[in-house]
A = this chain, B = another copy of it.
Amino acid sequence: MIDRRELLGATAALGFVPGQALAASGDLKAIRTAADAGAAASVARIQEWIRHPGIAAENWQMEQSCAFTMDMLRDAGFQTVQKMPTVGQPGIFATLDAGARRTMGIYFMYDVKQVVASEWSSPPFDAALVDKPGWGKVIVGRGAVNQKGPQGAFLGALHAFRAAGKKLPVNLVLVAEGEEEIGSPNFHQVVQAPQVLAALKRCEGIVIPSAWQAKSGAVDINLGAKGMIEVELIASGEAWGKGPKGDIHSSLRAIVDSPSFHLVAALQTLVGPDGNTPAIDGWFDNVRPLTARERQLIALNSKASDDAERLSALGVKQWINGETGTTAAERLASQPTVNIEGLVAGYTGPGGKTVLPGRAVAKLDFRLVPNQTAKEAQAKLRAHLAKRGFGDIEVKVSGGYDPTETAETSRVIRAQQAVYARAGAQATLFPRLAGSWPGATFTAPPVSLPAGQFGLGHGSGAHAPNEYFVVESSNPKVQGLVGSSMGFVDFLYEMAAIS
């Protein structure tokens, strides 16, 4: 999941770029009329989608959720909609042939993150319509912004084309997965299926619909994202041959080794004396330094960024080493990381309990930058631990992506800039998202497509309670659902026309 509104506050002014798609302005007007007429249906479509959830992490209602999504694609005009089995949850492959010159790829997901219903103001799968001060009328529900709202806005665009009697300016190839929230472990099986791969190869690029306008209307355009591996390190008496199998009375600590201290010692080797810099053998071998253009973009962005405001919003008193401005921004974009997501051992309740735990677990994520790979990172981590006497510690990799990059000169990026500019949304070009998404599935061989997020509109709360998506915006700088759909309409025209 990409939550980069919290990552990036900077915006840089981009002048108005006359779009090639203005030639289609008559069509645009008719489609806008159709989109307005279909607004209520479009809202209801997203609500129904939220009411048909599937949670891959719990293997809950995945069949129904997949089937419902396939029906929505057929309903939106896709001519072929195929379920694509994988060793995990099935994916979806859909095509819409408009007889156009160019073809555009679209990426959907149909699974959603788990919920703790008691934490929500309204039941997470009710998809309640709520007035949200400062934003307008929103749908509250799990999946509202991640990704059923933005995806619904995209489908709303297709419905508007049809209702207006207009042909799509590009053909569409859509691939969807049901395991995004568990790290897309099998999505490559979908995109690399021969017929899917052949279809994707015809595409100009691929986008994941988004809705990340800030209150100012600003959006970011990311030219890539860090990769990552997510790992559990598990120290246990069982595997170590020292320490207890289960939890035993802590008085025995005098004569029994501690798997927890064994884990602590292993963790301590992963970072340098500053507690930050990755210290895994060979970790920086393939790290590519920032290019001059990347530095230029970062410098531009950090000028417009207010460090004090960002620190305060995050509840952080200082960045690493007290760095600020461009230095911190370069570090954010360029540095691989070693992060402890969680620690679990022994007694975790209130107060204490005199046990010597038989097992200790650290949950880690490692963000990767070009040209590191997830495969390389796993191998180096294992070798590093083994070399230092921690070969018994289980390295359980639950997910991983390679870093992803898309050229600034690609049509997908240039079209975004044009559409955002026409919409009056300041678009900041950022060399690399510090978060991760499975973009490398598309940008790396064998698919090798430009890939990025695109969308107007706003929603937030992905993975959190009260996730929402704005359907009627009370802020003139931010698009509601119809405006978001029209952004996709313009984007498809732009992709058809851009040189």
Q: Are A348 and B348 in contact (CB under 8 A)?
A: yes
Q: Which residues does chain B contribute within 8 Å of A275, judged by CB atoms?
A: 257-258, 261-262, 265
Q: Which residues does chain B contribute within 8 Å of A124, judged by CB atoms?
A: none
**Complex: A275 Cα to B392 Cα, angstroms:** 15
**A322-362 near B? 1/0 per residue, CB < 8 Å:** 01000010011101011111111111101111111110100
**A230-268 near B? 1/0 per residue, CB < 8 Å:** 111000010001111110111111111110111011011
Query: Min CB distance, A111 to chain B, in Å?
Result: 14
Q: Are B434 and A252 in contact (CB under 8 A)?
A: yes
Question: Residues of A within 8 Å of B, CB-based: how many?
Answer: 85
Query: Min CB distance, A251 to chain B, in Å?
Result: 4
Q: A271-B261, A341-B357, A365-B352 are in contact. Are A254 and B335 (CB under 8 A)?
A: yes
User: For the complex, is A60 an interface residue (Cβ under 8 Å from B)?
Assistant: no
Q: Interface segment, A127-135, A151-159, A310-318?
A: A310-318
Query: Min CB distance, A455 to chain B, in Å?
Result: 20
User: For the complex, is A7 an interface residue (Cβ under 8 Å from B)?
Assistant: yes
Q: Which residues does chain B contribute within 8 Å of A363, judged by CB atoms?
A: 346-347, 352-353
Q: Which residues does chain B contribute within 8 Å of A347, judged by CB atoms?
A: 341-342, 363
Query: Min CB distance, A381 to chain B, in Å?
Result: 15
Q: Are A367 and B253 in contact (CB under 8 A)?
A: yes
Q: Are A315 and B251 in contact (CB under 8 A)?
A: no
**Complex: A335 Cα to B7 Cα, angstroms:** 50
- Please classify the interface of chain A as helix (H, G, I), strand (E, B), loop, or mixed, using the class held by over half of its residues: mixed
Q: Which residues does chain B contribute within 8 Å of A265, judged by CB atoms?
A: 268, 275
Q: Are A344 and B343 in contact (CB under 8 A)?
A: yes
For A336, the closest partner residue in chain B by CB is: B254
Q: List 23 A-B contacts (CB under 8 A).
A: A7-B251, A226-B251, A244-B315, A244-B316, A248-B314, A251-B434, A252-B314, A254-B333, A254-B335, A255-B319, A256-B314, A258-B275, A260-B343, A261-B340, A264-B267, A340-B357, A341-B346, A341-B353, A341-B354, A342-B346, A346-B363, A347-B363, A352-B365
User: For the complex, is A208 an interface residue (Cβ under 8 Å from B)?
Assistant: no
Q: Which residues does chain B contribute within 8 Å of A344, judged by CB atoms?
A: 343-344, 348
**Complex: A171 Cα to B257 Cα, angstroms:** 47
User: For the complex, is A399 an interface residue (Cβ under 8 Å from B)?
Assistant: yes
**Complex: A82 Cα to B453 Cα, angstroms:** 74
Q: Are A255 and B332 in contact (CB under 8 A)?
A: yes
Q: Which residues does chain B contribute within 8 Å of A342, judged by CB atoms?
A: 345-348, 352-353, 355, 357
Query: Min CB distance, A318 to chain B, in Å?
Result: 6
**Complex: A398 Cα to B349 Cα, angstroms:** 13
Query: Min CB distance, A421 to chain B, in Å?
Result: 27
**Complex: A315 Cα to B267 Cα, angstroms:** 25
**A156-168 near B? 1/0 per residue, CB < 8 Å:** 0000000000000
User: For the complex, is A57 an interface residue (Cβ under 8 Å from B)?
Assistant: yes
**A1-27 near B? 1/0 per residue, CB < 8 Å:** 101101100000000000000000000
Query: Min CB distance, A177 to chain B, in Å?
Result: 17
User: For the complex, is A410 an interface residue (Cβ under 8 Å from B)?
Assistant: no
Query: Min CB distance, A467 to chain B, in Å?
Result: 15
Q: Are A251 and B353 in contact (CB under 8 A)?
A: no
User: For the complex, is A195 an interface residue (Cβ under 8 Å from B)?
Assistant: no
